[in-house]
Homo-oligomer: A and B are copies of this chain.
Amino acid sequence: MSGNTFGKLFTVTTFGESHGPALGAIVDGCPPGLELSEVDLQQDLDRRRPGTSRHTTQRREPDQVRILSGVFEGVTTGTPIGLLIENTDQRSKDYSQIKDRFRPSHADYTYHHKYGVRDYRGGGRSSARETAMRVAAGAIAKKYLATQGIQVRGYMSQLGPIDIDFKSWEAVDDNAFFCPDPQKVPELEAFMDQLRRDQDSVGARITVVAEGVPVGLGEPIFDRLDAELAHGLMSINAVKGVEIGDGFAAVTQRGSEHRDELTPEGFTSNHAGGVLGGISSGQPLIAHLALKPTSSITIPGRSIDVHGNAVEVVTKGRHDPCVGIRATPIAEAMMALTLMDHLLRHRAQNADVQVSTPRLR
């Protein structure tokens, strides 16, 4: 209840501090009989892993995950799946600079007031390192969803001022940015190189899409599919905005333009982003998220210490100049976890339902 669990039927509970001995998670509610091994999880962990290009932090985290339970002879048993990643890159370093002061735009100040005590090493629990466990758990959801014909993928749709059009899924995995347009990659690289020289950071926009979603997932009223997805995406570090389908563009649209008409051949458009009344329509589920620029920059900033005195803060260390670059696998994980949870919830209540009406795309 203190907020480290996601989902209601397919639940993921995580623990771990950035510089503690380990990160871990318990994935509860996975259907039995799913083929699963550590390799399935490692793939997505490696996509999120830092240090794979010059545009992300140069920290070395092998992020080697172990499955400690819930899998027997290569298949899930229906019992909880324990996951563990030991922290290996725990440099013993001097934290006296940040121990008693609050880095601007970080959670230092709020953790301090909420708990009265905090693990200040590398941000402790508030570090984005925690998202490694989301990615590991999301990989389990992805694997099960794939057996149901559902595929969750994401890409970067904007880096700072640079808009990126979707060209192909193949392109996404061919560069360090999850950029779906190969022709834009040189521009992104040049932008990031200049940003590093400026010792500054920048925001990004990520798009995630689920294809093959059946019609009917989502519990209307409060636990709508889009509301829970917004919850999941907004819970990712640095995210400041979430859109479903046309999102904020819908503000200026007229009803005659926005509404997705239905024909026997299918929907004529997908302004809704795959959700109507909180329930999946069978069209692709589409969400966009805005990530803020990280505040861990070396340009000095004003702050206070725990006694209320003015101090100057310079965040040294190995930080991502654009946290959005590594966010795509995390966003995919949160969409997969949301869908997985709603797939199980749907089965619980609606196992008897049979409808002869054809399903549209």
Contacts and interface: CB of A to CB of B under 8 A. Distances in A.
A144 B258 CA distance: 39
Contacts of A252: 160-161, 202-203
A68 B117 contact: no
A107 interface: yes
Nearest to A295: B259
A146 interface: no
A33 interface: yes
A153 interface: no
Q: What's the number of copies of this chain in the assembled complex? A: 4
A119 interface: yes
A248 B248 contact: yes
Interface residues of A, number: 164
A114 B248 contact: no
A29 B251 contact: no
Contacts of A8: 1, 8
Interface string A194-217: 010010111111000000000111
Contacts of A104: 259-262
A180 to B, nearest CB: 17
A223 B105 contact: no
A68 B354 CA distance: 26
Contact of A203 (B7, B258, B310): B258
A218 B111 CA distance: 10
A309 B356 CA distance: 13
Contacts of A22: 68-69, 82, 84
12 contacts: A4-B28, A13-B28, A31-B350, A78-B115, A102-B262, A104-B262, A107-B276, A113-B216, A203-B258, A248-B248, A262-B304, A263-B304
Given A4-B222, A14-B221, A240-B244, 13 more contacts: A2-B28, A72-B117, A106-B276, A110-B276, A113-B282, A114-B216, A203-B251, A224-B235, A226-B240, A228-B231, A258-B292, A261-B301, A304-B360
